[in-house]
Structure 1
Amino acid sequence: MTATATTPSQSTTIKPGTVVLGEGRFSGGDAYRALFRIRKGGFEYLGQVNVHLGEEGVRLEMFNANYFGLFEAEAEVVTATLERTLLNQLLGRDALNDRFRDVIHSRLEESILQPLEPLPAIKEEADPRDLQGIFDRLNAEYFEGKVEAGIEWSKETRIANRRSVKFGSYDARKKLIRIHPRLKQDFVPIPVLELTVFHEMCHQAVPPVRQNGQWKTHHREFKAREKEYKHYKEAMQWEKKHWAKLLAPSPSE
């Protein structure tokens, strides 16, 4: 995804994540490009910042478009804040001559001098691991509010020689979703927790079907519905990479 930065007034309230600017390179003497990495929500996202001496000026490219899905604000608002962060980092590079610095300063001044509207009062930040909040948001976004179930953290259990843990369950009789408290740990990315909740919600939205004389829960339609979660691929990759850490005893054990 290519994004041309604008500077909405709300950009000053966005927290783009941990931004790490990589080594840059010159192209034809009139352009400078540098890759950057952003770590947010437990995942890494890649992009590139381009500085041109001509009319093109400054341009940002995000290679992972789903990065913008982490914010409630529009992509242009997020891009504006990210651009300011990257340009200020670029100004610290000795390799850039005065002509490139002039382009960067002009872009920063252009954005900073935009008239700012009064910012709304900052609301108290919600707990990102609030299960009810996650459930309500996913229900509205993916299920049209039709999933009717309670949700709660299950109890931690001590199991010797642990080889597996069931991180979520759905009790169809009670219409109750239980999530394992190991997913409450800070090192677990929020999308991994959300996917677990989403998976259990799918059990009600896409109930079991009878195939070859047996009831099948994770049938083709179920799996297709589960993959509709926007961070499905990243969450699954993280789980595969960190499953051993998830199975390790928690600090309270």
Structure 2
Amino acid sequence: RRTIHLGGYDARLREVRVHPALDRPTVPAFVVDYIVFHALLHADLAATPTGQDAGPDAGPDTHDAAGRCAAEHTPDFLAREAAFPLREAAWRWLLENLSSLRRG
């Protein structure tokens, strides 16, 4: 398996989903927190009307037929994501451990 979907926001069900691989005791809590934070940003953008308290790249995220966010990560999204205090550490951990997460 080449990819793994670690988490996401389902707009139809209004829920955040996290991959079971992140339940392992070796996964730091801040990594799971980052995945949830990222998904909640999608949820927030999905609920925000275009142009309301947001930059020109903001607006409601679009969703595919399964209710998953289909939006790209706009500059506004990335700026808001940067507010997560341990974002860089979470990214580093994910990059270093992605192959073990894929293996199961």
Query: What's the TM-score bracket when you normalise by the shorter of the two chains?
Result: 0.7 to 0.9
1:7-18 correspondence runs (5 A): none
Identity across matched positions, percent: 31
Structure with the greater alpha carbon radius of gyration: 1
Q: 1:217 aligns with which of 44, 50, 72?
A: 72
Equivalence for 1:234? 89
* Alpha-carbon shift at residue 209 of structure 1 (Å): 3.9
* 8 A contact 1:192–1:235 mirrored in 2: yes
Q: 2:36 aligns with which of 177, 190, 197?
A: 197
Q: Within 2, Cα distance between the matches of 1:244 and 1:183?
A: 13
Equivalence for 1:184? 23
Q: Within 1, Cα distance between the matches of 2:98 and 2:83?
A: 23
* Alpha-carbon shift at residue 217 of structure 1 (Å): 3.4
Secondary structure at 2:34 match in 1: helix
CA RMSD of aligned residues (A): 1.8
Q: Within 2, Cα distance between the matches of 1:242 and 1:234?
A: 12
* Alpha-carbon shift at residue 229 of structure 1 (Å): 0.7
Q: Within 2, Cα distance between the matches of 1:225 and 1:206?
A: 11
* Alpha-carbon shift at residue 173 of structure 1 (Å): 1.9
Equivalence for 1:166? 5
Secondary structure at 2:8 match in 1: strand
Flag as ranges the 4+ runs of structure 1 deviating above 3 A.
207-210
Q: Within 2, Cα distance between the matches of 1:246 and 1:172?
A: 26
Report the TM-score, using the length of structure 2 for normalisation.
0.73
* Alpha-carbon shift at residue 172 of structure 1 (Å): 1.1
Equivalence for 1:59? none
Q: Within 1, Cα distance between the matches of 2:30 and 2:21?
A: 14
1:74-93 correspondence runs (5 A): none
Deviations 1:67-91 (A, max 9, x none): xxxxxxxxxxxxxxxxxxxxxxxxx
Larger % of strand: which? Answer: 1
* Alpha-carbon shift at residue 237 of structure 1 (Å): 0.7
Structure 2 spans left out of the alignment, 5+ residues: 47-57, 61-69
